[in-house]
Amino acid sequence: MQNYYTPKSKHLTLTERRMIERWLQEGLSNREIARRLAK
């Protein structure tokens, strides 16, 4: 049995994952990335 779950609206699209990867390479903080994704 699974001990974890993903709440609604927490799944990331491939496009969002690519944006996150690019922003991390640019040195943005996790907080700034979350703000930009509005999640």
| Residue with the larger pLDDT of the pair 32 and 7 | 32
Does 21 fall in a domain? yes
Does 2 fall in a domain? no
- Output 2-5 pairs: Cβ under 8 A, ≥24 positions apart: none
Instruction: Kindly tell me if the per-residue pLDDT of 15 is higher than 80.
Output: yes
pLDDT value for 7: 59
Does 38 fall in a domain? yes
Does 30 fall in a domain? yes
Does 25 fall in a domain? yes
Does 3 fall in a domain? no
Instruction: Kindly tell me if the per-residue pLDDT of 39 is higher than 70.
Output: no
